[in-house]
Every structure is written in C-alpha cells, then in structure tokens.
Structure 1
Amino acid sequence: MSQINIGIDQANRQEIAAGLNKVLADTYSLYLKTHSFHWNVTGPMFNSLHQMFEDQYTELAGAVDVIAERVRALGERALGSYSAFAAVTGIKEDSGVTDATQMIQELLEGQEVIIRNARNLYPLVNQANDEATADLLTQRIQLHEKTAWMLRSLLQN
C-alpha cells in the first residue's frame, strides 16, 4: 500500500481513527438498540414512537458508513464486528426494556454518550488540522443534540 501523505502525521491519524472507531461503535450500538425498541415499543404512544425510532435508526444506519469511511480515509481499519463494538462502546445493550418511557430515557442517554465522545475528539482533531473529521464531528454532534432534545422533550410532563 502506498504511503499516506494527507498532511496529518501517522500517530495523529491513528489516534483520531481510534476515537472515530469509538464513535462508530457507539453509533452502531445505538442503531441496534433503537431498532430493537422500534420493534418492541408498545402503549398509547406506539404509532408515534414506532415511527420516530424508525427515523432515528435509519439515520444511524447511514451514519455508521460515513464514520467508517473516514476511519479508512485516515488509513486505519474500521471496526466491523459485534465483539469489537462491544469492547469500546459506552452504549448499554437493550436488556429487554418494554416500558416506552424507559426506552426514550435509554435512547436519550445513548445520544448523549455519542455527543460526549465525539466532542472529546475535537482537541486532537484541531491540533492535527483535520478539518474533514472536525466537519464530520460537527455534523454528528448537531444531529445527536437535536435528537436528544426531542427525546428529552418527550420525558417532560
């Protein structure tokens, strides 16, 4: 394979890719959880939550591809197995939750995990002048903050 010469040294590329792989693992884990909740939600808000969860998991499914491709563009291997994701994710697995309010709370917490982990990458990304990753992170944070706000709003009386 030819040498990567994109203006970011190898050590920074590896560290940024490791951080992105964590965001990838979190995103994929939240995708799985959201999809499960979509299938299993019940109660008076079924229709609206079923649709909302579908919108959310569909967006997350697209996001994993974008994040993984950025890892590859940095010259590193993107994580791609359940066990690899489980080893680094901060998202708790669906443990059989059946209460819609608890589902919303857990998805909110998952959104916030991704926001924090994406935001934690900024100092390194900025120091490495990695504008492409900064842009990706900005877009992801903006989307996850909006989704978190919407979920949080459902929990208010």
Structure 2
Amino acid sequence: MLKQQFFEINDGITQEHRVTIANGLAALLADSYSLYLKTHNFHWNVTGPMFNTLHLMFETHYSELALAVDLIAERIRALGFIAPGSYSEFAKLSKVTEHSGDTDATDMVKYLIEAHEVVIKTAREIIAIADEANDQVTLDLLTQRLQVHEKTVWMLRSLLR
C-alpha cells in the first residue's frame, strides 16, 4: 500500500478508486523499471552475429522505458501518493523475472518478450478500475503504454522467425 500525501484532492475520483489506481500504477512502475533494467543489462552484454541490431534496438527500448517510468511515477504523485522508487520497493512489487547479462542473444529476446507481456498484463489489470473511476488521464497513460509494449513484443518476436 502506497503512502498517501496529506492534502485533499477533490477532482471527481473517489478515494477508494484513487488508492486502487495508485497501487496498480505502483506495480506497473515496478514492472516497467525492472524491464528497463533488464533491457539495459542486455544492451550492455549482448554478443553474437546480431550484436549491432540488438544493441541498438535494446538502447531504443530502454531509452523509451526511462521516459515511461517518469510518466507513471508522476501520475502516482498526481493521484496524491508517494511513488515507489527504491530497488527494495520494486523487488516487492514487480512480477518481471531477473536474468543475468550472461545470456544467449536469442534467449535475451525471448526473456524481453516475456517481460513486456508481464507489463502488458499489469497495465490491463488497471484499466477497468480507471474506467470505472472516470479517470481518463490514467486510461490515456495505460493505452499509450499498451501500444508501446505490444508493438515492442511484435518487433522482438519478428527476430525469432
């Protein structure tokens, strides 16, 4: 459970919805940050015939994720809560599996697909409650995140065929 700020927000989103959405976004933030770290790790450590392609692709992906985690954290703050921001908090909240950089390039791609799918599922879990709360800002954020992650999964899968 996230720590709430000590000010009242009266913008049409109930406190119950605000708590549920913020906690869902905290899980999304943790999953996204864990995916950022995994992608950056693989960027540093990829080897093999696809080195240049994967190295550059992973850099594009982790750069996008670096911007995304900021947007997610800022939405948590706008809802009136303290955003998680430590490795220990992320470890408790994230469902993304860790892998070392000493991994075959093809396995890196497979592991990134799995991790993006975890993030997609986490984002989808929040949509219904944000819709019920009439929280268009969170819905817009989630729609944008889903679009990016689904496209990334498609691109990564294309490398395996």
Q: So what's the TM-score if we normalise by structure 1?
A: 0.97
Aligned-pair CA distance for 1:96: 4.0
Please tell me whether the aligned partners of residues 30 and 93 of structure 2 are also in contact (alpha carbons under 8 angstroms): yes
Please tell me whether the aligned partners of residues 42 and 108 of structure 2 are also in contact (alpha carbons under 8 angstroms): yes
Please tell me whether the aligned partners of residues 23 and 114 of structure 1 are also in contact (alpha carbons under 8 angstroms): yes
Deviates more, 1:89-98 or 1:43-52: 89-98
**Equivalent position to 1:135, from 140, 147, 157:** 140
Q: So what's the TM-score if we normalise by structure 2?
A: 0.94
Structure 2, unpaired ranges of 5+? 1-5
Residues 79-124 of structure 1: CA deviation (Å, up to 9, x unaligned): 1000100101111112344200000000001111111110111111
**Equivalent position to 2:122, from 109, 117, 120:** 117
List 4+ stretches of structure 1 deviating above 6 A. Answer: none
Please tell me whether the aligned partners of residues 97 and 103 of structure 1 are also in contact (alpha carbons under 8 angstroms): no
CA RMSD of aligned residues (A): 0.9
- Measure the CA separation in 1 of the matches of 2:121 and 2:42: 23
Secondary structure of the residue aligned to 1:92 is: coil
Number of positions where the alignment pairs a residue of Structure 1 with one of Structure 2: 156
- Measure the CA separation in 2 of the matches of 1:137 and 1:144: 10
Residue 47 (structure 1) aligned with residue 52 (structure 2): yes
**Equivalent position to 1:76, from 66, 81, 87:** 81
The aligned residue for residue 146 of structure 1 is 151
